[in-house]
């Protein structure tokens, strides 16, 4: 967590700026790639989903006690809030892009 996020005002400021960003998630690499190709095509060539999938080797993790999970969540709540807001923004961006693709397909179908 950085110093901007360490206060409620800072967290709110970070969240408010998300709408001005292209948000991506490695766990949703294909959707992130589509957004990059549309919004930042010059960067898309540097983003490779195959290498992201290779990094995602599932490891068997030990069971974490619920009390420890609660303590971690409480300590990291500002970061969790930013992550959840970023995920919502990402989902909105993906939905908007899909709507544009559908509209473009409809227009194309009407022309021919």
State pLDDT tens for residues 56-98.
Answer: 666 788 899 999 999 999 999 999 999 999 999 999 999 999 9
The answer to whether residue 1 sits within a structural domain is no
Cα dihedral: 17, 21, 27, 31 (round 10): 140
Q: Which residue range(s) make up the domain with 73?
A: 8-111
98 falls within a domain: yes
108 pLDDT above the threshold of 80: no
Confidence of residue 52 (pLDDT cuts 50, 70, 90): low
> Would 70 be classed as within a structural domain?
yes
Please check whether residue 2 lies inside any domain of the structure. no
> 36: closest CA among 21, 50, 19, 15?
21
Cα(56)–Cα(92) distance, integer angstroms = 25
> Reduced to 3 states, what is the DSSP secondary structure of residue 62?
coil
Structural domain includes residue 52:
yes
Mean pLDDT over 13-37 rounds to: 92
Tally of domains within the chain: 1
Question: Is the residue at 3 inside a domain?
Answer: no
Report the C-alpha gap between 49 and 45 in whole angstroms: 11
- Nearest CA-CA partner of 89 in 32, 42, 33: 32
Please give the Cα distance from 25 to 89 (Å, whole number): 11
Kindly state whether residue 39 falls inside one of the protein's structural domains. yes
């Amino acid at each position: 967590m950085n110093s901007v996020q360490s206060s409620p005002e800072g967290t709110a400021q970070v969240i408010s700026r998300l709408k001005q960003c292209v948000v991506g998630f490695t766990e949703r690499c294909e959707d992130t790639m589509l957004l990059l190709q549309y919004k930042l095509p010059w960067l898309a060539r540097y983003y490779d989903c195959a290498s992201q999938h290779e990094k995602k080797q599932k490891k068997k993790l030990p069971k974490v006690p619920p009390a420890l999970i609660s303590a971690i969540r409480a300590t990291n709540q500002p970061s969790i809030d930013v992550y959840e807001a970023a995920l919502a923004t990402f989902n909105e961006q993906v939905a908007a892009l899909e709507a544009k693709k559908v509209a473009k397909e409809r227009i194309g179908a009407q022309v021919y």
